[in-house]
Structure 1
Amino acid sequence: MTTATRHDTTPATRSADWRTRAACQNLDIDTIYSDERGDQAEVQAACLRCPVRTLCLADATRWEEGPYQPWGVAGGLTHLQRQALRVHALLGEHPDLKQAGMLVLPQTFGDLLWKLRDWSLAAVVTEFRGQGVTASAVTIRVAMWWLGCRAALVAQPWSGDGRLMSVQIHDDHQQLVQKLTAMGVSRTNIALHLGVSPEQVQAARQAWKRAAERAGQELAA
């Protein structure tokens, strides 16, 4: 793939000079914009060693300046991860991409982030706080995504938490889900933000509804 091809097939930005240094220059354009996991893993591996990864991601997340790119990998994140990052932006949460770039280095915290890949994001943040790292949750999340980790707001059941993911949503994230719903965020995008399936979000919602109905019946009795 040539530099000209890369320039023409990527959303326009104010400055395209960094593209000539992108590590994806020799990747096929169909691979870059693919939603197949194997293709995305190949592109993300290139992004991890890319010297302009942060510039690429900054360009890809200027949502207010143009249409969102709903496919492929950009700045080391898949389009689903970028959509979750957009929900963070709606909540006023913005990553420090330079700091995220430091966190992924093997000589800093890259190895630790990989070891914690199945933990909830809050648990990872707590671990980092204990080591004196004050990076924001969304900054740590971007670093974990760059390394290929889940970086979900809920933990895998085998990570030590033990609760089903739908139970974690029910117990820990009701206010967040209600806030995003009130903001008009779709169930699909809420699920992307949490790092779970839409069905798991719906299961938690139904449990909250049943609990509210029971509480209403008890008050009426």
Structure 2
Amino acid sequence: MTIVNADMRRSRSYAAPATPDWKTRSVCRGSEMTDDFFSTVRSHKERARALCVGCPVIVECLNNQRQSDDVIYRWGVGGGLDPEQRRALELEELLGNVPNLAMAKVLVSPRWLYRLRQLKAGCRSLEGIAAVLRKDGLLVDVVTVRVAVWWSGGQGSRMARLGPGDRRSWRAQLRDDYADVIVALHERGARRADIAAYLGIPGTNGAKGVSDVLKAVAASGLELAA
């Protein structure tokens, strides 16, 4: 046996086993629904996200997708979230709100998914859902609940549903209840459209509503970042 061959034999005998690629365990691998993950049609995106919910590597997929997302440009459903939701998650983290993705995965497991859907229907806000789940014995925060709501197919809006008798428009609610978070995100460099998506009112109207709040705050004499 030559020295070279001896070295090669040792490397084969004592090399650590390769870590399996998490992608080989993904539900979407080889799926006929691949196009749904890159569609802009709402029903197609919902089908893609529904497939993600039961995926054993949804956490790994989301972390990987977020690493490849551009600051402005995002495309497709990845890790169970669409581009707007992933951007909203980035804004959550700008405010110091980091989700526990392992716990979010628990919330969409067969044991807890029905309970989560009950609370989505009965609670007016993510804060309300989180409070009830804590009473149920789960250590959850609002942003973790938000990810679980997204994964379960919900909107996960940061804006609470108005209570009985509250006839304010969404613009008035935005001004009255969310001016502080709008200013905080604006000062951290978030775009108006992204702030609107974070709050759950994406689109041109949402961005215009955020601009109106910022103008009103500036007019009141409070200093805003340029």
TM-score normalized with structure 1 length: 0.77
Q: Which has the larger Rg?
A: 2
> Could you say which residue in structure 2 is the equivalent of 1:111?
114
Q: Read off the aligned partner of 1:199 and give its amino acid letter.
A: N
Note the C-alpha offset of 1:161: 7.9
Distance 2:109 2:145 in 1: 13
Residue number in structure 1 paired with 2:205: 199
Maintained 8 Å contact 1:150/1:195: yes
Counterpart residue number, 1:121: 126
CA offset at residue 29 of structure 1? 3.3
1:126-141 → structure 2 map (5 Å cutoff): 126-141=131-146
Q: Which residue of 2 aligns with 1:10?
A: none
Distance in 2 of aligned mates of 1:117 and 1:79: 22
RMSD across aligned C-alpha pairs, in angstroms? 2.7
Shift of 1:114: 1.6
Written as runs of structure 1 = structure 2, the 5 A alignment for 1:58-97 is 58-62=63-67, 67=70, 70-97=74-101
Check whether the contact 2:192–2:210 (CA below 8 A) recurs between aligned residues. no
Identical columns (%): 32
User: TM-score scaled to structure 2, two decimals?
Assistant: 0.75
Unaligned runs of 5+ in 1: 1-14, 217-221
Provide the rounded CA distance (Å) in 1 between the counterparts of 2:86 and 2:177: 23
Runs of 4+ in 1 over 4 A off after TM superposition: 207-213
Amino acid at match of 1:206: D
- Match of residue 31, structure 1, among 31, 36, 46: 36
C-alpha distance in 2, partners of 1:31/1:203? Answer: 31
1:120-160 Cα shifts (integer Å, max 9, x gaps): 22222233233333212111111110000111111234x65
2-structure distance, mates of 1:168, 1:126: 22
Q: Partner of 2:158 in structure 1? A: 153
- Kindly state the Cα deviation for residue 209 of structure 1 after the two structures are TM-superposed: 4.3
Q: Gaps spanning 5+ residues in structure 2: where? A: 1-18, 222-226
Letter in 1 for 2:212: Q
For residues 124 and 172 of structure 1, the distance between their equivalents in structure 2, rounded to whole angstroms, comes to 19
